[in-house]
Amino acid sequence: MTIFGIDPGSDRTGYGCVETNGSRLRLVLSGAIVSASLGSFPEKLLKIHTALALLLKDCRPDCVAIENVFHGVNARSALKLGHARGVAVLAAVEAGLPVFEYTPAEIKRAVVGNGRAEKHQVQQMVKLLLELAKLPLPYDAADALAVAICHCHSMLPAGAAAAMTKSATSWRHFRPSR
């Protein structure tokens, strides 16, 4: 199964695609769609939609997992995030793919084991789970991969997700290099 994860944002939208056979995860691709800061908001939305449509066509995933909008401190920022998320969902639906939504806490719980994990903890666990040589960059790409991994874990029978992550060491043992 191939899952395409999306971490929506109006300035930077992260994407990540993973494959799983039920016991192992493999990175297909990841990155971020960066919109020009001087571009108009509609132009940014068009860029996100166009880029995601091309990526979905190239990857041909079985489904799309996307981070759900949660409450925002700033109403204007939450509204912009909602628009970016909307064009991402539109690209997936146009591609004929089912869309699954997860809250930030669900994603962090599935990947790190703690719904209040910090970004570097998510990034480190994504690296371990996908057996990557380096941390996935930028954070938006790591977050999108975490969304895809969350969906992988939600599709597995009870206990299988724990077996899949058994080889990865806990984020608690992670010590950032100084």
The residues spanned by each domain of the chain are 2-173
- DSSP secondary-structure letter at 68? P
Where in the sequence numbering do the catalytic residues fall? 7, 67, 140
- Which tens digit of pLDDT belongs to each residue from 105-152? 999 999 999 988 999 999 999 999 999 999 999 999 999 999 999 999
- Which tens digit of pLDDT belongs to each residue from 38-51? 789 999 999 999 99
- Cβ neighbors of 81 (< 8 A, separation 6 or more) are 8, 9, 10, 69, 72
Determine whether domain 2-173 maps to CATH 3.30.390.10: no
* pLDDT confidence tier of residue 178, bands split at 50, 70 and 90: very low
Helix 104-111 to helix 139-155 angle (10° resolution) is 80
Q: Strand 12-20 and strand 2-7: pairing?
A: antiparallel
Compute the distance between CA of residue 66 and CA of residue 101 in angstroms, rounded to an integer.
5
pTM of whole model > 0.85?
yes
